Structure 1
Amino acid sequence: MTEDSWLADTRTSYDTVAVAYADYVRDSLAGEPYLRAALGLFADRVRAAGGGPVADVGCGPGLVTAHLNGLGVDAFGIDLSPAMVELARREHPGLRFEVGSMTELDLPDASVAGVLAWWSLIHVPDDVVPAVLARFRRVLRPGGPLQVGFHVGDVSRLKTEGYGGHPMKVHVHRRRPATMAAWLREAGFTVEAEILLDPDREVPQAILVARHDA
């Protein structure tokens, strides 16, 4: 599987399910106190680092981007799917959303005060993740926080049907926190915290908080 093919498959898949996905997640944060707390922690870390613009990479329909803005963070969204970005702009007209890929991340060096990548690295192949994390570090200001959310496990599966029963073609990669932490350290981050969510479920979730040290 080439980089171009998995990126194209991911883009097409999320263009296809965009409306159904937006409906599915619309009220999802309301019932997730730990996720809201993690976003509050991220907002605090951004302020502690001096504040400034924050990139929500893989923002989808903009739910989390909007939540961060509600917490007083100057967050903007980037997503691979043009349909997702169109939805985000329509549902959150006062906020900034751009079409873009985390494999390129067309932002100037040291231009953002924080990077959020919530469950957006799950479709990125293992051999590409370190380069993506290096790009996150490049665009972050020294001292700025990075928060990454992902599925915990050791397997990858091909997802062929998605939200609303629409066809998809994306690989979903589950990873161990120790693996993600090692990649972060190799990319030049200091790992500040590892948060394990729903440890008794079949597929737990994890959030890692890291810092760009100069």
Structure 2
Amino acid sequence: MTADPQTLATYAKRAEEYADVISRAGPDADLLAFMDALPPGDAPVLDWGCGPGNSAAIMVSHEIDVDATDASPEMAAVAAGLGVDVRIEPFDALDPAPRYRGIWANFALLHAPPDVVPDLVALAGRALLPGGVLHLGMKQGSGSARDPIGRYFSYWQPDDLDRMTRAAGLTPFRTRLGEGNGLDGRIEPFVIHLSRKPA
């Protein structure tokens, strides 16, 4: 099981607040880079761990067919307010049959334990169509910990993400480091990582 009960409980209480913290009016540079890297075609994109649905709604506004999943019913309810239909399920419920031209996992898989994340990345690799793109947004660091409001996080370095995606048969092609403010009010470093399944 990849859904941490304490993390889900925090999001259940603060889903609307989280949406206010992370929502944006249009695509940021990372979402634009992901959309620009998608192979052509009509196949859907997966917003995997979509939270309040902001990214999914923006992609839909750019005429991209989006599937959205999240383990939090409360987050799914917020996303519904943006017109995003969310399947409520944990990460490991993803069907491995290749059907997506892109998977957007933006600050989502970091809620899974470090020993589980490589298997989830491999699952994503199987679910991508040839030429498909995987976006990973992760907190930068090592190990795992809970934040002051009880959420569980695993922390990653760019080399870790390179190794995991290569092991999943993907080719890394873009990495960006930055820092940002989260729901707990702390400013922390992060890594954005893109990889592609060979065509």
- TM (norm. structure 1) is 0.81
More helix by share: 1
| Letter paired with 2:107 | W
Q: Deviations over 1:30-79 (max 9, x none)?
A: 6xxxx712211211222x34342110011111011111122232223110
Contact 1:49 1:144 in 2 (8 A): no
Query: Are 2:121 and 1:136 aligned?
Result: no
Distance 1:194 1:51, change over 3 A: farther
* Structure 1: 4+ residue segments shifted above 4 A: none
Which of 92, 95, 98 is equivalent to 1:103?
92
Structure 1 residue corresponding to 2:77, chosen from 80, 86, 105 = 86
CA distance in 1 between partners of 2:23 and 2:188 (Å): 22
Which of these residues, 202, 206, 214, is aligned with residue 191 of structure 2?
206
Mark the CA change 1:41 to 1:154 in structure 2 (over 3 Å): closer, same or farther: same
CA shift, 1:160, in A, is 4.2
Question: CA–CA distance in 2 between the matches of 1:76 and 1:104?
Answer: 14
1:85 Cα deviation from its structure 2 partner: 0.5
| Aligned residues of 1:40 and 1:71 also touching (Cα < 8 A) | no
- Kindly name which structure, 1 or 2, has the bigger radius of gyration based on alpha carbons: 1
What secondary structure, in the 3-state scheme, does the structure 2 residue paired with 1:76 have?
A: strand
CA offsets, 1:105-164, max 9 Å, x none? 1x3611111100000011111100011011111211111111111111224321242xxx
| 2:56 aligned counterpart, secondary structure | helix
Partner in structure 1 of residue 183 of structure 2: none
The answer to whether the Cα contact below 8 Å between 1:49 and 1:143 also exists between their aligned partners in 2 is: no
Could you tell me which amino acid in structure 1 is paired with residue 82 of structure 2? H
Q: How many residues align?
A: 194
Structure 2 unaligned spans of 5+: 181-185
> Aligned partners of 1:7, 1:155: CA distance in 2, in Å?
16
The percent identity for this pair of structures is 30
TM-score in terms of structure 2 length = 0.87
Q: Within 5 Å, which residues of 2 pair with 1:1-214? A: 3=1, 7-27=4-24, 36-46=28-38, 48-89=39-80, 91-93=81-83, 95-105=84-94, 107=95, 109-161=97-149, 169-198=150-179, 203-213=188-198
| Farther off after superposition, 122-131 or 18-27 | 18-27
CA–CA distance in structure 1, aligned partners of residues 187 and 8 of structure 2? 28
Distance 1:158 1:84 in 2: 20
